[in-house]
Amino acid sequence: MSDQPTANGVRAMNEHQHTVLCVDDDENILHSLKRLFRKEGYRFLTATSGVQGLKILEENNVQLIISDQRMPQMTGTEFLARVKEEHPDVIRIMLTGYTEVDSITESINRGHIYKFLLKPWNDENLKLDIRQCLEQYDLVQTNKILHEKVFQKNKELERINENLETLVQERTTELQIQNHALELSHAVLESLPIPIIGVSAEGMIVLINQEARALPFNGKGIEIGKELADYFSTDVEKKMASVFSTNTAVSLKGYRFSEGAFDVDFTPLFGRFRGKGVIVRLRQVGSH
């Protein structure tokens, strides 16, 4: 069976979901522990020295270590200190019959040992202790997985926010350009030396330039928001209707009102404003 975590960070029960390494120079102790944990569903590895234990850790995914204190070459506290440095996630337990309080206490204080248990042990208590330690291991690993997910989500949100800021800046620049272009368009329209009138499909005047405002249409100035019919005869309305029906520019020659005779050009709008309006241009007869 695999000893890797499942997708949710917690291994399924009734499988070899955990690997336990027991390190003791007394092989009788190793056999006793192996028999004790046979029905617990653990994958059980053994080593007779700290050096051998370190080698096993390099080759296996181990979740919990039970180590004796007095061993040749390397004491239990030295071994577990190395384990903490090289495999910090592994739960480390000291199981010994020797009460070397000073060295063990120092190792506990420095975080080398998660729990200290004495020989001889009570089988049920030892199994409960190991079970609780492995539950703690699973909880820590699950928290790490959740933390990593939260971290990745936060990084993703940071990237989204950075992209949004870029899009906002680009959109702001685009709007500034458009506003500037619009201002220039209005300035150009106002500066044209001929009267220009913009009319919507409903016949309402929506735009006039300076030259158009200066003309007295039968004694009254033209205003935005008024109807074109308020200032022009039905001949002009018919031409307007023709422009909208054919979407083709037309002209009305020699149209007269108080300022004299004018040729009136009707030009439909194109593109996305097609059918929504007409530009009316007035050219006084005899002028260029």
Over residues 168-215, the pLDDT tens digits come to 888 888 888 888 888 888 888 888 888 999 999 898 999 998 888 888
Kindly state whether residues 218 and 277 are assigned to the same domain.
yes
The CATH code of the domain that includes 35 is: 3.40.50.2300
Over residues 89-114, the pLDDT tens digits come to 999 999 887 666 666 777 777 777 88
Over residues 130-142, the pLDDT tens digits come to 999 999 999 999 9
Q: Residue written as tokens 């002209």?
A: 251
Kindly state whether residues 222 and 140 are assigned to the same domain.
no
pLDDT band of 13, cuts 50, 70, 90: very low
pLDDT band of 3, cuts 50, 70, 90: very low
Among 116, 148, 180, identify where a domain stops: 148
The CATH code of the domain that includes 271 is: 3.30.450.20
| 119-145 as b/e: b if 16+ CB within 10 A | eebeeeebeebbeebbeebbeebeeee
Structural domain boundaries, residue 139:
19-148
> Over 70: is that where the pLDDT of 10 sits?
no
Sign of CA dihedral 154, 155, 160, 163: positive
pLDDT band of 35, cuts 50, 70, 90: very high
Among 148, 176, 203, identify where a domain stops: 148
Q: What is the pLDDT of residue 100?
A: 65
Over residues 39-84, the pLDDT tens digits come to 888 999 999 999 999 999 999 999 999 999 888 889 898 999 999 9
Kindly state whether residues 27 and 144 are assigned to the same domain.
yes
The overall average pLDDT reported for the chain is 85
* Least confident interval from 8-22, 23-37, 182-196, 217-231: 8-22
| Cβ contact 97:120 at 8 Å | yes
Q: What is the pLDDT of residue 90?
A: 95
Q: Please report whether residue 4 resides in a domain.
A: no
Joined together, the tokens standing for residue 211 give 């030259």
Q: What is the pLDDT of residue 287?
A: 53
Over residues 255-266, the pLDDT tens digits come to 887 668 888 999
Cα(43)–Cα(20) distance, integer angstroms: 6
Q: How many CA atoms lie within 13 A of 158 on its CB side?
A: 6
> Over 50: is that where the pLDDT of 144 sits?
yes
Q: What is the pLDDT of residue 135?
A: 93
> Over 80: is that where the pLDDT of 122 sits?
yes
Q: What is the pLDDT of residue 16?
A: 47
Contacts 24+ apart (CB under 8 A), 94-103: 94/67, 94/68, 94/69, 95/24, 95/66, 95/67, 95/68, 95/119, 95/121, 95/126, 96/68, 96/69, 96/70, 98/69, 98/70, 100/69, 103/69, 103/75, 103/77
- Alpha-helical runs (H) found in the chain: 27-37, 50-59, 76-86, 101-109, 123-191, 210-213, 234-246
Among 148, 171, 202, identify where a domain stops: 148
Kindly state whether residues 212 and 130 are assigned to the same domain.
no
Q: What is the pLDDT of residue 6?
A: 40
> Cβ atoms within 10 A of the Cβ of 202, count?
10
The structure's pTM equals: 0.54
> Over 80: is that where the pLDDT of 124 sits?
yes
**Closest CA relative to residue 237, chosen from 213, 205, 284, 189:** 205
Joined together, the tokens standing for residue 118 give 């004495």
Q: Please report whether residue 153 resides in a domain.
A: no
Residue 208 has φ and ψ, to the nearest 5°, of -145, 145
